[in-house]
Copies of this chain bind each other. A is one copy, B any other.
Amino acid sequence: MKSLTHYLTFQVKQRMEFVNITKDVERVVAESGVREGLCLVNAMHITASVFINDDEPGLHEDYAVWLEGIAPHDPSRYRHNRTGEDNGDAHHKRQIMGREVVVAVTEGRLDFGPWEQIFYGEFDGRRPKRVLVKVLGD
Work out how many copies of this chain go into the complex.
Answer: 3
Contact A1 B58 (CB under 8 A): no
Kindly state the separation between the CA atoms of A13 and B111 in the bound complex, as whole angstroms.
Answer: 27
Give the number of residues in A that approach B within 8 Å (Cβ atoms).
59
Contact A136 B134 (CB under 8 A): no
Closest to A99 in B: B52
Query: Quick one: given A3-B137, A97-B95, A99-B52, are A58 and B38 in contact (CB under 8 Å)?
Result: no
A residues whose Cβ falls under 8 Å from a Cβ of B: 1, 3, 5, 36-38, 40, 42-46, 51-54, 56, 58-59, 61-63, 66, 70-71, 77-83, 88, 91-92, 94-104, 106, 111-116, 130, 132, 134, 136-138
